Amino acid sequence: MRVLAAVAIMVAFAAGASAAFAQQHSRASAPARPSQPAAVSPTSASESVSFTVAPVILVVVDTDSRPLAVWTNLRSAPSAETRVVARRGSVHGPDVPVTAGDRSLLAQISWGRPGRVW
């Protein structure tokens, strides 16, 4: 009979300890803001990273505004929305206004790969 009582006490103690642990654990892992939904771990099918790079053409010009090089991130001919930037001396030089001569040069370029195209 004593063995049965001891087993009953151990089961009751274990159940109480388990409930206390579960309650404490759920409070510790609760989100800081209860209004936010819990994070759902993504499946491999839903994991993706995407970003958009704005199409740009960079014309490097000398001090007399003559084109020295043309760089781009385009893989095809530019559209009307393509941003054209002119910089003096190098790709890291100061911005200068794009001239009509710079734009006429763009019409002569064979587009199709990113990088230095002229």
pLDDT digits (tens, 9 = 90+) for 48-84: 665 667 889 999 999 999 999 999 999 888 888 899 9
Specify the pLDDT at position 86.
95
b or e along 80-90 (b: 16 or more beta carbons within 10 Å of the residue's beta carbon)?
A: eeeebebbeee
Can you give the residue ranges of every domain in the chain?
1-30, 56-116
Report if pTM > 0.85.
no
